[in-house]
């Protein structure tokens, strides 16, 4: 168990800088999710912590010690790879025991630890199989087992669930989270799935193009996104972003006042989460529904704001039987659910 | 529906396979049959008449000290050639695999020796090690070492092994390099995180994953060293000194065409035929049951 500190961490491949300076303090035992779109540098960031990529600038501290120049094996970490990276020629038991064998443990010690891990991960009957003879979910568990037997201070996960089907993903997500809190190990978890990020993270880093757009708890990021990018990336369906103006202390969408605000007058981006608008015959937002998607617990309405080409999505509780294409609806918004962003910088106002 | 071409007559099909049949017949079945036939006879010293001796040639052969020595020489030679061509190839492949830039250049350069015919390679090495004008033997002389593969059997063996293995390194390198590139990067990284340093990773992860390639190359190189090194041996040592480099194939040639003992030479080629057969069976068995991970 250890803290991890990133100080202005930078990475360049040749002349291209892909990580532009990330600062973060990770507490002991914290579960941190690094989330962002493909190519934003999540894996690169994780691999710098692992020691698989050299650090171009800044510092990585693990347990308070500078780790920049340490080899991966000297960092007291374990990593679970997206493709699991099991040793194909070894049995499950050998896969899990490899690190212990290198560490010089005796055979009985290794066997005890491997069996304990196997029991924890429900791999008991599979110890003599080769990775080839396992299902995707079982391989995933073996990869986890290999990480936990060595009792590292930090777990690193690089999209460990992305090769599993949706149902298994939900199950493993819970198991990983449970396991991590049971072991109390600091974890860094990379994913591009915002649901994983929301459900697993103690805190998350929302990354975009090599920059940490926001670092915070899932609810902080959801409720007070610090940038347009974080606002749109976290939350499903994505937040509606509309061009608006502030005039005389009111947020104006065209000629309609949506909410009161104390912010300075001028053009703004108005963010409204689909689930934060409510049907209201007197409401300021008029929407022309083009398509209704009933999802069971809620219904998504896709359409545009009346009289414009601006796309708008609303999410209503329950089955909304009345909704159909071409219907006109009005919605009201609570001012606290209006997110205002600077149109130039994308920063929250 | 199965799609197959049906011929009405049998003349055209026969015509179509004729070239292959003809080549096999002329260059394989006829000489092989001749060898088997001739191995049962002894010609008189003037080649005017032959006498049927049954298994006599074989009995004589296996009683012959020189023939048994040639078996030993062949075994030693093929082990050395196989090792001398595979280990450096693997080493070079590992080095080239570690390169991020420029591995293409090394690959190209390392393939060139393969394009040199064995006999030409033999002449090349012979020039370098020539006891009177050779560059290398002159340098060795400067260092106080008196190189003379014409008289020294071990030196002769060393030289033909090096000359035979040299071109093969390229061939083996290609296979090893391709196999190394196919080892998933993340598996190596996982081993690094598990605590294994470079050589440990190499021996416990990389080498086992290369084993299908290694085994394939082993078989191919042994077959090569048995049969395709004739040119090298003929140009460099002609089997000498004192038969120190007379491998089985070379003995077939020297007994048959130099010694004119066609009976014995034929018996030897029959033995060799069986050895090839055995090695081929081994190889096919292996390719069928290739170790896949
Ligand atoms: N070895 C490399 N050489 C050059 N550029 C690289 C290298 N590895 C990654 N990059 C670049 O760095 C950027 C970040 O890559 P990275 O793999 O970290 O993305 P990611 O966020 O993990 O994406 P994904 O979700 O698709 O895995 C990308 O633009 C990528 O092209
Ligand atoms: Mg990635």
Q: Residue B276's pLDDT is what?
A: 78
In A, minimum Cα distance to B185 occurs at A85
**Chain B residues with CB-CB distance to A130 below 8 A:** 293
In chain B, where the domains are located: 58-290
Q: Residue of the nearest CA to atom 6 in ligand 1? A: A13
Q: What is the pLDDT of residues A213-263, one digit of tens each?
A: 999 999 999 999 999 999 999 988 899 998 888 888 888 887 888 888 877
Cβ contact, residue pair B187, A102, below 8 Å: no
Q: Give dist(CA A38, CA A192) in Å, integer.
A: 7
Yes or no: say if A46 and A20 are a contact pair by the CB < 8 Å rule. Answer: no
**CB-CB contact of B235 with B126 (8 Å):** yes
Query: Which residue carries 């909304």 as its tokens?
Result: A320
Residue numbers in A near B208 (CB within 8 A): 89
* Cβ within 8 Å, pair B192-A77: no
A235's tokens: 């939350």
pLDDT greater than 90 at residue A80: yes
**A72 close contact with B: CB closer than 8 A:** yes
Best mutation target among B182, B186, B190 (most A Cβ atoms within 10 Å) is B190
For B163-210, the pLDDT digits (tens) are 889 888 989 999 999 999 899 999 999 999 999 999 999 999 999 999
Our CA-based measurement puts residue B187 at a distance from the nearest CA of chain A, in whole angstroms, of 5
Query: CA of A157: which chain B residue's CA is closest?
Result: B190
Q: Indicate yes or no: CB of B293 within 8 angstroms of CB of A98.
A: no
Mean model confidence pLDDT for chain B: 84
Contact B34, B266 (CB under 8 A): yes
Query: Which pLDDT does position A189 carry in this prediction?
Result: 95
> What separation in Å is there between the alpha carbon of A188 and the centre of ligand 2?
13
Q: Which of residues 139-178 of A touch B (CB under 8 A)?
A: 146, 150
For chain A, the distance separating the N- and C-terminal CA atoms, rounded to the nearest angstrom, is: 38
Residues of A in contact with B196 (CB under 8 A): 73, 98, 102
What residue has token string 């009792």?
Answer: A151
For ligand 1, what atom is nearest to the CA of residue A53? 1
pLDDT at A291 over 80: yes
Backbone angles phi and psi of A68, in degrees to 5: -45, -45
Report d(CA A341, CA A225) in Å as an integer: 10
Do residue B194 and residue A73 have CB atoms under 8 angstroms apart?
yes
Listed residue (B192, B291, B251) closest to B74, CA to CA = B251
pLDDT in tens, B198-218: 999 999 999 999 988 888 888
Measured between CB atoms, does B186 come within 8 Å of chain A? yes
Q: What is the average per-residue pLDDT within A157-162?
A: 90
Note the residue count of chain A.
Answer: 349
pLDDT band at B2; cut points 50, 70, 90: low
**Strand blocks (E) in B87-246:** none
Residue A322: predicted pLDDT: 59
Test B195 with A73 for CB contact under 8 angstroms. Answer: yes
Rounded Cα gap, residues A67 and A70, in angstroms: 5
A28 contacts: CB under 8 Å, gap ≥ 6: A1, A2, A3, A186
Domain B58-290's class?
mainly alpha
Of B184, B186, B194, which is closest to A98 when you measure between CB atoms?
Answer: B194
Cβ-based contacts of A160 with chain B (< 8 Å)? none
Instruction: Provide, as residue numbers in chain B, all residues whose Cβ is less than 8 Å from the Cβ of A145.
Output: none
Phi then psi dihedrals of residue B153, to 5 deg: -60, -40
Task: Indicate if the pLDDT at residue B81 is higher than 90.
Answer: yes
Residue B190 touches chain A, beta carbons under 8 Å = yes
Q: Is A53 on the interface with B (CB under 8 A)?
A: no
Span from the CA of A152 to the centroid of ligand 1 (angstroms): 26
Residue nearest to atom 31 of ligand 1 (CA): A39
Q: Which of A25-34, A196-205, A237-246, B49-58 has the lowest mean pLDDT?
A: B49-58
Rounded (10°) angle between helices B103-111 and B65-98: 160
A346 CA distance to ligand 2 middle (Å): 25
**Distance in Å, CA A265 to ligand 2 centroid:** 41
Torsions phi, psi for A282 (to 5 deg) = -100, 0
In whole angstroms, what is the distance from residue B234 CA to residue B158 CA? Answer: 15
Residue to test with chain A: of B189, B193, B198, B207, most A Cβ within 10 A:
B193
Res. B22 pLDDT band, cuts 50 70 90? very high
Q: Residue B142: is its pLDDT beyond 90? A: no
User: Do you find a cis peptide bond into A237, omega within 30 degrees of 0?
Assistant: yes
Residue B47: exposure state from Cβ atoms within 10 A (0-12, 13-18, ≥19): exposed
Mark yes or no for CB contact B193/A86 under 8 Å.
no
> How far apart are alpha carbons B176 and B171 in whole angstroms?
9
Is the pLDDT score of B120 beyond 90?
A: no
Residue A135 backbone phi and psi in degrees, to 5: -80, 170
> Cα(A123)–Cα(A117) distance, rounded to whole angstroms?
8
B221 within 8 A of B172, measured Cβ to Cβ: yes
Q: What residues does ligand 1 touch, defined as CB less than 6 Å away?
A: A 13, 18, 36, 38-44, 192
CA distance A76 to chain B (A): 8
A87 touches chain B (CB under 8 A): yes
Of B106, B188, B275, B234, the closest CA to residue A52 belongs to: B188
Interface contact B192-A98, CB threshold 8 A: no
Closest B-chain CA to A85: B187
Contacts of B187 in chain A (CB under 8 A): 85-88
pLDDT at B21: 92
Q: Quick one: tokens of A8?
A: 């202005």
- A179: contact with B, CB 8 A cutoff: no
Number of Cβ within a 10 Å radius of residue A71: 12
Residue B49 has pLDDT above 60, yes or no: yes
Tell if the CB–CB gap between A85 and B187 is shorter than 8 Å: yes
Structural domains of chain A, with CATH: 4-226 (3.40.50.300), 240-341 (2.40.50.140)
Instruction: Give the mean pLDDT of B100-115.
Output: 78
pLDDT bin (cut points 50, 70, 90) of residue A145 is: very high
Mean per-residue pLDDT over chain A, rounded: 89
Q: What is the ipTM of this complex?
A: 0.84
How many Cβ contacts (< 8 angstroms) between chains A and B? 63
Could you give the C-alpha distances from B198 to A70, A152, B293, in angstroms and in order? Answer: 15, 21, 22
pLDDT digits over B212-265, tens only? 888 888 888 988 888 888 888 888 888 778 888 888 888 888 888 887 777 888
pLDDT band at A60 (very low <50, low <70, confident <90, very high): very high
pLDDT score of A347 more than 70? yes
Which of A40, A161, A190 to probe ligand 1 with, by most ligand atoms within 8 A of CB?
A40
Confidence band for B291, pLDDT divided at 50, 70 and 90: low
Contacts of A52 in chain B (CB under 8 A): 189, 192-193
Give alpha helix (H) positions in B183-261. Answer: 185-193, 198-201, 207-227, 230-236, 248-253
Distance A210 CA to ligand 2 centre (A): 12
Residue B211 φ/ψ, nearest 5 degrees: -60, -35
Q: Quick check: bond before A137 cis, omega within 30?
A: no
In chain B, positions 103-162, which contact chain A (CB-CB < 8 Å)? none
Ligand with an atom nearest the CA of residue A16: 1
């Amino acid at each position: 168990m250890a803290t991890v500190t990133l100080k202005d961490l930078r990475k360049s491949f040749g002349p291209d800088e892909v990580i532009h300076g990330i600062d973060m303090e990770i507490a002991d035992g914290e579960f941190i999710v690094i989330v962002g779109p493909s190519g934003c540098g999540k894996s690169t960031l994780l691999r710098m912590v692992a020691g698989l990529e050299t650090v171009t600038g800044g510092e990585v501290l693990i347990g308070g010690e500078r780790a920049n120049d340490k080899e991966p094996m000297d960092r007291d970490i374990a990593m679970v790879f997206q493709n699991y990276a099991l040793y194909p020629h070894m049995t499950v038991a050998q896969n899990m025991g490899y690190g212990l064998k290198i560490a010089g443990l005796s055979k009985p010690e290794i066997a005890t630890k491997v069996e304990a891990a196997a029991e924890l991960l429900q791999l008991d009957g599979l110890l003599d199989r080769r990775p080839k003879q396992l299902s995707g979910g079982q391989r995933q568990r073996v990869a986890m087992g290999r990480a936990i037997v060595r009792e590292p201070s930090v777990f690193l996960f690089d999209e460990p669930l992305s090769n599993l089907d949706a149902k298994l993903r939900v199950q493993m997500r819970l198991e990983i989270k449970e396991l991590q809190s049971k072991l109390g190990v600091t974890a860094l978890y990379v994913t591009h799935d915002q649901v994983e990020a929301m459900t697993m993270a103690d805190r998350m880093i929302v990354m975009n193009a090599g920059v940490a757009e926001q670092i915070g708890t899932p609810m902080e990021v959801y409720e007070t996104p610090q940038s347009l990018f974080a606002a749109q990336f976290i939350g499903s369906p994505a937040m509606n972003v509309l061009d608006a103006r502030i005039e005389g202390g009111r947020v104006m969408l065209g000629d309609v006042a949506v909410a009161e605000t104390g912010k300075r007058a001028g053009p703004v981006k108005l963010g409204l989460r689909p689930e934060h608008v409510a049907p209201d015959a007197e409401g300021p937002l008029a929407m022309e529904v083009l398509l209704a998607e009933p999802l069971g617990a809620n219904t998504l309405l896709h359409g545009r704001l009346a009289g414009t080409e601006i796309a708008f999505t609303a999410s209503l509780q329950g089955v909304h039987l009345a909704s159909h294409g071409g219907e006109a609806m009005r919605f009201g918004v609570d001012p606290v659910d209006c997110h205002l962003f600077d149109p130039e910088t994308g920063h929250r106002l | 529906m199965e799609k197959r071409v049906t011929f009405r007559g049998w003349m055209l099909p026969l015509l179509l396979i004729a070239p292959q049949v003809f080549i096999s017949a002329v260059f394989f079945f006829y000489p092989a049959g001749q060898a088997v036939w001739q191995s049962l006879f002894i010609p008189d010293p003037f080649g005017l008449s032959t006498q049927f001796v049954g298994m006599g040639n074989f009995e004589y052969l296996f009683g012959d000290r020189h023939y048994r020595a040639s078996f030993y020489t062949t075994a030693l030679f093929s082990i050395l050639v196989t090792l001398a061509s595979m280990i450096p190839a693997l080493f070079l492949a590992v080095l080239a695999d570690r390169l991020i830039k420029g591995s293409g250049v090394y690959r190209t350069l390392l393939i060139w020796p393969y394009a040199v015919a064995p006999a030409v390679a033999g002449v090349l090495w012979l020039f370098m090690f020539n006891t009177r004008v050779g560059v290398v033997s002159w340098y060795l002389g400067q260092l106080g070492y008196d190189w003379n593969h014409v008289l020294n059997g071990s030196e002769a063996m060393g030289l033909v092994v090096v000359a035979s293995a040299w071109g093969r390194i390229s061939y083996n390198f290609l296979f090893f390099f391709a196999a190394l590139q196919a080892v998933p990067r993340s598996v190596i990284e996982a081993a690094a995180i598990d605590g294994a340093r470079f050589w440990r990773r190499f021996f416990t992860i990389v080498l086992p994953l290369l084993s299908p390639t290694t085994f394939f190359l082993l078989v191919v190189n042994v077959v090569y060293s048995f049969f395709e090194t004739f040119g090298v041996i003929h140009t460099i040592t002609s089997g000498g000194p004192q038969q120190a480099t007379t491998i089985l194939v070379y003995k077939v040639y020297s007994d048959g065409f130099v010694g004119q003992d066609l009976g014995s030479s034929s018996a030897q080629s029959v033995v060799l035929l069986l050895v090839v057969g055995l090695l081929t069976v081994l190889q096919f068995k292996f390719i069928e049951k290739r170790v896949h991970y």
